[in-house]
Amino acid sequence: MLLFLRNCSKIRKYWFLLILTIITLELTALYLQHISIFIPCILCIYQRCALGGIGIAGIIAIISPKIYIIRMLAVCIWIYSAWKGFLLAKEQINIQSNPSPFLTCDLFVQFPNWIPLNKWWPNVFEGQGDCATNTQHFLFLEISQWMIIIFTSYLLISILIFLSHILHTKKRKNPLL
């Protein structure tokens, strides 16, 4: 299985498939926000950004998936983004499961000064919903529970791809491929 994942990570169409899944999830989030009038909370916005990080990893890898360094950079960004998304989804479930006036999410979205996404695209990156509410359900699970499943899946796949490259490094003649 590791050999299969390593070989897949060298092919553009699999990275395109990763990007396609991210675009689908992002468009679903925008549909829920603007068409279904589901007001996202701060943690929802941050989870969207984590998905965007995975998408950026896919874009980096699709440039030249056969080059080892580019591929590994993309996989590392993918692992980091999936991990951060998992932690954010876990935090949101904790807030929803244990409502408390002391356990809340931020009041305002806080992006770095060098990339103020909420100022550039307020319709997409402004979260005004309450993190403690769990109103959206799909197939008997809340959206935050689905996000745990999604980020866990992304994290598991990315770690397996990373391991497939690390374990194969010793056998490789050219370290750049």
Residue 105 annotated in active site: yes
Residues 6, 49, 71, 105: which is the catalytic one? Answer: 105
Residue 172 annotated in active site: no
Residues 6, 49, 71, 131: which is the catalytic one? Answer: 131
Residues 6, 44, 49, 71: which is the catalytic one? Answer: 44
What are the helix and strand counts (H, E) for the chain? 7, 2
Residue 6 annotated in active site: no
Residue 76 annotated in active site: no
DSSP secondary structure, 3-44, as one string: HHHHHHTTSHHHHHHHHHHHHHHHHHHHHHHHTS-----HHH
Residue 44 annotated in active site: yes
Residues 6, 48, 49, 71: which is the catalytic one? Answer: 48
Cα(129)–Cα(131) distance, integer angstroms: 6
Cα(177)–Cα(166) distance, integer angstroms: 12
Residues with a catalytic annotation lie at 41, 44, 48, 105, 131
